[in-house]
Chain A
């Protein structure tokens, strides 16, 4: 195992993050504040409580998940796509590094950045609403797993993408709608029965539900099912990456 290489990739990727630290910090703070102003104050004042939880507090897990999923995906996809775009990928391909080591370096860095954003949003939320996290360890575990799994997805997108447009395509057209429709700002129980059934095909529902359970002890779906869903999603991504590395698809000519 080339730990030094993993460390180098991780540090190199994190340096990119630190170069734009203020942007990385301020952007989620502002967007979270805006969400609280719009959803928490303007709309939330008309919605008293959801499952016994104030609406402002109820949307916190969804808000975190929304940002974490999009950040993890975009950071990881950009991380591996950029070397392809500028040609520095030659260095990775000619170094004594296995594809799994490359993945750990890039995905680890992308997940760390997403985790940072998630924690910043959580910190900002405390300024607006009173929240008590009932299962803090489970919360951190869900957050970490989500960061990792969506970074893996982003890594796949980065390898697949042939241009910047494709890089944005899946996060914009698939992930964001799935997160918005996955119960970020509402409980699945609030939907009509038909839509409740349809929503259950959205994998993001299970992630948000599990994450919300770690905050409030209440969830749309059983916690075990949420864990299974995130485990399955992670395994699927790992399997796809394994196939990519075995065949050299879109990496080696």
Chain B
């Protein structure tokens, strides 16, 4: 898969000396959904703003579709759509007019049929003549997406698109994103909602303090860093872990045993544990496994970085 966005040694230092991006390298593959996770102030929005040309980089380069975003900015920006974090819309303007304006800015001739298709797909068609100020917060967010899609971009940046929207709308947005991916649009998403990244992303990037900590395939990441636990429910609960099982580092939970193991290892130790349980004379009533979520992985990664700093 070819890269559609290439970020090389991108640094952004503000006048007050604060370094929002520290020599960031990031390659985004064509057609993928990549989620950038990071705590507040990590540099997610700065990274997106710099790629899109809103913020001037101190050093480094950005190419989009092979076009440098400074020297060949027209070709580069033509490929990009941006949904900002804040709901930035002109309150007195009508929905259709503001979407038409966005399309025009990108040099595209009017195409009422295409705009109708977008507005219908975002359930905005019956609001097309409403003024922005009359819309709910969720609807305004949809308008931002419609504006970003109005010029048929190949790369779409979504900066926390579901912040503050209800669960139903969030799920609707995920459907929209999935549909865009089907159409071949590359999507870069920043989010605070780990479940969002878990649900829709192909790859995960973790950013903290202006540095990319990792970029990895979501499934690989969860497999690599995800710990699994095996809960062994006993017919007769015990008050302490038997000495014969001490080598497994078991935890006691309401009289039952919990074994934590690493999924990336060839031997997890489960087979020998079960055999030793039998030897110890313990009888099982049930077994349950549980995998750590992306959120737990994310928290541990950021905590590691903070510990290292």
Complex Cα spacing A154 to B95, Å:
28
Chain B contact-residue range equals 35 or more
Least CB distance from B197 to A in Å reads 24
Q: A2-B107, A94-B53 are in contact. Are A87 and B84 (CB under 8 A)?
A: yes
Question: What residues on A are CB-neighbors of B97 within 8 Å?
Answer: 12, 15
Bound complex: CA of A95 vs CA of B148, how far in Å? 10
Distance of A9 Cα from B93 Cα, bound (Å): 13
Q: CB < 8 Å: which of B80, B90, B104, B107 contacts A88? A: B90
Q: How far is the CA of A16 from the CA of B97 in the complex (A)?
A: 11
- Complex CA–CA separation, A86 to B88 (angstroms): 6
A16 to chain B: which residues have CB within 8 Å?
92
- Of the candidates A87, A90, A96, A248, the one whose C-beta lies within 8 Å of that of B78 is A96
**CB-defined contacts of B90 to chain A, threshold 8 Å:** 82-83, 86, 88
Among residues 1 to 58 in chain A, which have CB atoms less than 8 Å away from a CB atom of chain B?
2-5, 7-9, 11-12, 15-16, 19
Instruction: Tell me if A190 is interfacial: C-beta within 8 Å of chain B.
Output: no
The residue on B at minimum CB distance from A248 is B56
Contact call A5/B56, Cβ cutoff below 8 A: no
Residues of B close to A248: CB separation below 8 A: 56
B113 is an interface residue with CB less than 8 A from chain A: no
Q: Does B193 contact A (CB under 8 A)?
A: no
B106-165 contacts to A, CB under 8 A, are: 106-109, 147
In Å, the complex CA distance between A7 and B107 comes to: 9
CB<8 Å pairs between A and B, sample of 21: A2-B107, A5-B104, A8-B101, A8-B103, A8-B105, A12-B101, A15-B97, A82-B90, A83-B90, A86-B90, A91-B82, A91-B105, A91-B147, A93-B52, A94-B53, A94-B80, A95-B105, A96-B76, A96-B106, A97-B105, A248-B56
**B residues adjacent to A (C-beta < 8 A):** 14, 49, 52-56, 73-78, 80, 82, 84, 86, 88-93, 97, 100-109, 147
Give the B-binding residues of A (Cβ under 8 A).
Answer: 2-5, 7-9, 11-12, 15-16, 19, 82-83, 86-88, 90-97, 248, 252-253
The 6 closest A-B pairs by CB, nearest first: A8-B104, A87-B88, A96-B74, A95-B105, A96-B77, A94-B52
